[in-house]
Amino acid sequence: MAPVQHAEGRIASARQVFDGMPELDTVAWNTMLTSYSRLGLHQEAIALFTQLRFSDAKPDDYSFTAILSTCASLGNVKFGRKIQSLVIRSGFCASLPVNNSLIDMYGKCSDTLSANKVFRDMCCDSRNEVTWCSLLFAYMNAEQFEAALDVFVEMPKRVAFAWNIMISGHAHCGKLESCLSLFKEMLESEFKPDCYTFSSLMNACSADSSNVVYGRMVHAVMLKNGWSSAVEAKNSVLSFYTKLGSRDDAMRELESIEVLTQVSWNSIIDACMKIGETEKALEVFHLAPEKNIVTWTTMITGYGRNGDGEQALRFFVEMMKSGVDSDHFAYGAVLHACSGLALLGHGKMIHGCLIHCGFQGYAYVGNALVNLYAKCGDIKEADRAFGDIANKDLVSWNTMLFAFGVHGLADQALKLYDNMIASGIKPDNVTFIGLLTTCSHSGLVEEGCMIFESMVKDYRIPLEVDHVTCMIDMFGRGGHLAEAKDLATTYSSLVTDSSNNSSWETLLGACSTHWHTELGREVSKVLKIAEPSEEMSFVLLSNLYCSTGRWKEGEDVRREMVERGMKKTPGCSWIEVGNQVSTFVVGDSSHPRLEELSETLNCLQHEMRNPETFGP
């Protein structure tokens, strides 16, 4: 009776039946233990296993495989080692299923030494395909590719699952060429690719938008081999075209999906969100028969990505009301949405909730908190959130570095960078954008030049447009327009070849700030050629002419904008008062308290112009 009930997902009812049984044999204990483990109820599984140890029934090999699976899911290698000691004392060290579970557990905990020791302690004749694949996975999971290759070569029989482990492992690390090379070898072997093989290959192609040709080639081979209708393969193809931004291909894949699993529904919602079809995503969300935490998180993330932070926040609240247990990804997603709107009050409430759930130490959540508090101007809370992160990743350091930089705290930012290097974290291109931004905002021209040089020489990080833009901004803010122009000219090919013309726009802005009309006109000509439909260069040049008293030239630029059908994007600002956001757009007089606001602004303006009237 108990197996039937928890097979239907009624684990609570199954436990009641279990507790009411007059006699509990090992089979009953194992049935309950396995159910907890498979349903992800790991703490319940551990508690039950502890009770089993002190009961009349003793654990057997099925008991140990179930609890080791729990250890693997939790990543709790310390508890796993205790279970191994108990395995040895109980005389199950020669059990094939138990040894395979031990290797799997150590592999998922990235303890390759222990996994290899269990493997080598086994008799050669007692190993099976699962044993070899578990050890192979252990090395791939730890990104020890050479050791994994040695195991792969040593395998008596390279089954399809082993090929998939190798391909998916390389795909996870973005090693597309290695994936394709393995795939070619697999095609020449006796084992043929399956839906999981193609899914891994498509995911590898999705990781880099430059791999468009490879992605389409893999898709073609998938169609030829008859795996195009497999759910896993179909979802990965949909993800590829969505990340590629190929709307037509993505919609074609959406329409061709016949069998919809939970993953399919989530993939469709994600695809709609990524191509900007938020209404379509909402429609699919309502049609989905089941909504798990991934479904809700996808909606929250999608709304945030599409600039609708308020809707993202509403969905998070609805998710909490629905009774779905939130995870750290959901909290991170809604915090990013709050930071986009600078909703400090809402962010603090969510911060309180996630502390209650114990998620404050997770890197993804902590990074979102640092970003939120920094954007809302609370640098102390940002620093505190950074300190709460248990295992800081590169994003953590970069986010905090940017926070210090944009707040003008150059000393703290540079000290943080030193601490980051000392901790063994290698900087990337984003790190140096943050450092150069810091130097720009704080007027540290000499330090900025040294960092710029170190990035290329010491860390061999390829120069990007954003790095050049930061340097031009730094020189421009400091009035070093000649140096700024030289830098833009030196890297003109890098700037010209990119669709991002922010470097030239930054230089033009510096010319406007320092009233350098001739250089401004020269830069404006470059921008008109590079981006003839963008209004930014026209607006900056017009402002430059007006600021230097050359009104006629300024009027001529504005007239040219009208003739080209250009309109200046109106300025926008917002403020949060009492957990409510008020937005103000230039030319908009729809705010209900506009008259009161205007009077207050006039009073403030008068005080600023006549400070002596109000005393010190």
Domain spans, the chain: 1-155, 392-462, 472-569, 582-609
Extract the tokens encoding 286: 């309502």
DSSP conformational letter for 56: S
B/e letters for 405-416, b = 16+ CB within 10 Å, e = fewer, are bbbebbebbbeb
Q: Same CATH fold, 472-569 and 1-155?
A: yes
Amino acid occupying residue 452: F
Mean pLDDT, range 13-26, rounded to an integer: 88
d(CA 207, CA 22): 56
Q: 255 or 164: which carries more pLDDT confidence?
A: 164
* Distance between CA atoms of residues 396 and 394, nearest Å: 5
User: What is the C-alpha separation between 513 and 479, in angstroms, rounded?
Assistant: 9
Spatial neighbors of 163 by CB under 8 A, at least 6 apart, are: 182, 186, 189, 191, 193, 197
pLDDT for position 488: 79
Statement: residue 199 has pLDDT above 90? no
Tokens of 2: 């108990």
Per the listing, tokens 């969505």 go with: 242
CA distance 37 to 41: 6
Matching CATH number, 1-155, of 1.25.40.10, 3.40.718.10, 1.10.10.10, 1.20.1250.20:
1.25.40.10
The string of DSSP codes covering 55-122 is SSS---HHHHHHHHHHHHHHT-HHHHHHHHHHHHHHT-TT-HHHHHHHHHHHHHTT-HHHHHHHHHHS
Q: What are the angstrom distances between the C-alpha of 130 and each of 109, 138, 239? A: 18, 12, 30
pLDDT (mean) for 220-248: 79
At 5 the pLDDT is 36
At 434-490, the pLDDT tens digits run 999 999 989 899 999 999 999 989 998 988 888 988 998 898 888 888 888 888 778
Residue 401 dihedral angles phi and psi, to the nearest 5°: -65, -45
pLDDT beyond 50 at 259: yes
Residue 430 has a CB neighbour count (10 Å cut-off) of 18
Pairing of strands 580-585, 572-577: antiparallel
Selected residue with higher pLDDT from 9 and 101:
101
Average pLDDT over residues 92-102: 93
What is the CATH architecture assignment of 472-569?
A: Alpha Horseshoe (1.25)
What CA–CA distance (Å, rounded) separates 120 from 111? 15
> In angstroms, what CA-CA distances link 478 with 110, 452, 471, 481, 482?
50, 16, 11, 8, 11
What is the reported pLDDT for 344? 83
Q: Is the pLDDT of residue 587 over 80?
A: no
Q: pLDDT band at 85, cuts 50/70/90?
A: very high
Residue carrying the six token digits 């969300």: 285
Structure tokens of 182? 């393995």
User: What is the DSSP track for 562-594?
Assistant: HHTT--PPPPEEEEEETTEEEEEETT----TTH
Min mean pLDDT across 302-311, 435-444, 554-563 is at 554-563
- Per-residue model confidence (pLDDT) at position 334: 92
Average pLDDT over residues 102-111: 93
pLDDT of 2 above 90 = no
pLDDT in tens, 158-167: 898 999 999 9
Cα dihedral 131, 134, 135, 136, rounded to 10, equals: 120
> Could you tell me which residue, 437 or 173, shows the higher pLDDT?
437
Q: Binning pLDDT at 50, 70 and 90, where does residue 378 land?
A: very high
Confidence of residue 51 (pLDDT cuts 50, 70, 90): very high
How far apart CA 447 and CA 292 sit, in angstroms, is 50
Residue 32 has pLDDT above 80, yes or no: yes
Q: How far is CA 262 from CA 222, 241, 243, 282, in A?
A: 22, 20, 20, 16
Question: Which run of H or of E encompasses 502?
Answer: helix 502-513
pLDDT digits (tens, 9 = 90+) for 438-453: 999 898 999 999 999 9
Maximum average pLDDT range among 223-227, 258-262, 289-293, 514-518? 289-293
- 570-608 burial, b for 16+ CB within 10 Å, e for fewer? eeeeeebeeeebeeeeeeeeeeeeeeeeeeeeeeeeeee
pLDDT given at position 6: 36
Please say whether the beta carbons of 468 and 495 come within 8 A: yes
Give the pLDDT of residue 527: 62
CA distances from 56 to 18, 29, 59, 89, 261 (A): 15, 11, 10, 17, 43
CA distance 435 to 448: 8
67-84, pLDDT tens digit by residue?
Answer: 999 999 888 899 999 999
Structure tokens at 454: 């170190």
Which residues are CB-neighbours of 148 under 8 A, at least 6 positions away? 136, 139, 140, 166, 169
* Mean pLDDT on 112-118: 95
Contacts for 406-409: CB closer than 8 Å, 24+ residues apart: 406/374, 406/437, 406/441, 407/374, 407/377, 407/379, 408/441, 408/442, 409/379
C-alpha–C-alpha distance, residues 520 and 536, integer Å:
13
Judge whether residue 1 has pLDDT over 50. Answer: no
Average pLDDT, the chain: 84
- The letter for the amino acid at 257 is I
587-593: list long-range contacts, CB under 8 Å, 24+ apart: none
Cβ neighbors of 109 (< 8 A, separation 6 or more) are 71, 72, 75, 76, 77, 80
Whether the model clears a pTM of 0.85, i.e. scores above it, the answer is: no
Q: Which of 140-149, 453-462, 555-564 has the lowest mean pLDDT?
A: 555-564
